[in-house]
Amino acid sequence: MALTIGVDIGGTKIAAGVVDERGAILDRVKLATPKDSAQVAATIAEAVGTLRENHEAEAVGLGAAGFVSADRATVLFAANMSWRNEPLRDRIEGLVGLPVVVENDANVAAWGEARFGAGGREDNVVMLTIGTGVGGGVIIDGRLLRGHFGIGAELGHYRVQPGGLLCGCGQHGCLEQYASGNALTRIVKKAAAADPARAEVLLSLGDGTPEGILGSHITAAAREGDPVALEGFTEVATWIGQAMADMTAILDPGVFVLGGGVSEAGELLAAPARERYREVVPATGQRPVADVVTATLGPDAGIIGAADLARDR
Ligand SMILES: [Zn+2]
């Protein structure tokens, strides 16, 4: 069976794996991301070389945070390192001697989930990655949507509130400001400060102050029925549900996959998101609706998706 290598280039770790045609990771290696961006290519090559000592791989797929050119060769702008117009494909091909494709990290995760995870091989899948920020990927008619410049499917910067909160992208009112892990923490801290007695369970998990509330506390408290934590999930899920409804008008997917750290809360997030989505989807009641499911591959989605895109290059 032909094997390929997928590499997830994170801000702190470079995680690489040998992946088979069924999306199974056979072997993996993890290295610290060098502080100096000029050293990152050498570290990727080292990870690939380590895996090739025991496995015959035919190609390498890389997932990088940032804007990647439509020909999957160049990182135009990296989110977590100093790369600008970095010719990453050619650099890695020169170092490892295998064909290489470069893809946006949210796109590779979406591809992995669509093909081998919660997407169930459905041909029309939208994945929303709800972590510190919000990212996403879109698969339409079995193909990854890249757009003309290669930088489409930036779902976190979908404007849900004109004139709303300032976003890191320089615009106002992006989904990321209302539906990310950071947004959830902000909403819950504010509610706990306003009425600490209602957030008793939540506050007991940290240092007792609203400032000490962490994302992990919110999920744990919600599972125990803490009303402030539950309302935080419902608020975030409401924004996600509305965004999914609007995306449906354009994309008509069969499945929405919710991934990222916040989605580890499972139905605490997915159930209210699904409910809101069905309420506000255009022509509600007159049209079939998409499934809303939680991702199943966790942090491995990037490695699996990148490896499969390298096979399918
Ligand atoms: Zn934005």
Distance 177 CA to ligand 1 centre (A): 8
Residue 44 pLDDT grade (very low, low, confident, very high; cuts 50, 70, 90): very high
pLDDT digits 0-9 by tens, 115-146? 999 999 899 999 999 999 999 999 999 999 99
Query: Within a 10 A sphere around the Cβ of 171, how many other Cβ atoms?
Result: 13
Distance 244 CA to ligand 1 centre (A): 17
pLDDT digits 0-9 by tens, 81-100? 899 999 999 999 999 999 99
- The percent of residues above 70 in pLDDT, for the chain, comes to 100
Residue bearing tokens 């801000």 = 11
Average pLDDT over residues 136-163: 95
pLDDT of residue 313: 76
pLDDT digits 0-9 by tens, 293-307? 999 999 999 999 999
Residue 189 pLDDT grade (very low, low, confident, very high; cuts 50, 70, 90): very high
Closest of 162, 181, 205, 169 to residue 67, by C-alpha: 169
Distance 250 CA to ligand 1 centre (A): 20
Distance 268 CA to ligand 1 centre (A): 25
Distance 165 CA to ligand 1 centre (A): 9
Distance 96 CA to ligand 1 centre (A): 36
Distance 170 CA to ligand 1 centre (A): 6
Q: Is 218 a residue whose pLDDT tops 80?
A: yes
DSSP designation for 34: P
Q: 215: number of CA atoms within 13 Å, CB side?
A: 16
Full strand arrangement of the beta sheet holding 125-130: 143-144, 134-140, 125-130, 255-259, 291-294
Altogether, the residues listed in the chain come to a count of 313
CB 310 within 8 A of CB 5: yes
The C-alpha angle with vertex 14 and arms to 110 and 257, in degrees rounded to 5, equals 15
Alpha helices (H) along 212-266: 215-223, 227-251
Residue 80 pLDDT grade (very low, low, confident, very high; cuts 50, 70, 90): confident
Distance 166 CA to ligand 1 centre (A): 8
pLDDT of residue 312: 78
Distance 136 CA to ligand 1 centre (A): 13
Residue 1 pLDDT grade (very low, low, confident, very high; cuts 50, 70, 90): confident
Distance 264 CA to ligand 1 centre (A): 23
SS3 string of 169-182?
Answer: CCCECECHHHHCHH
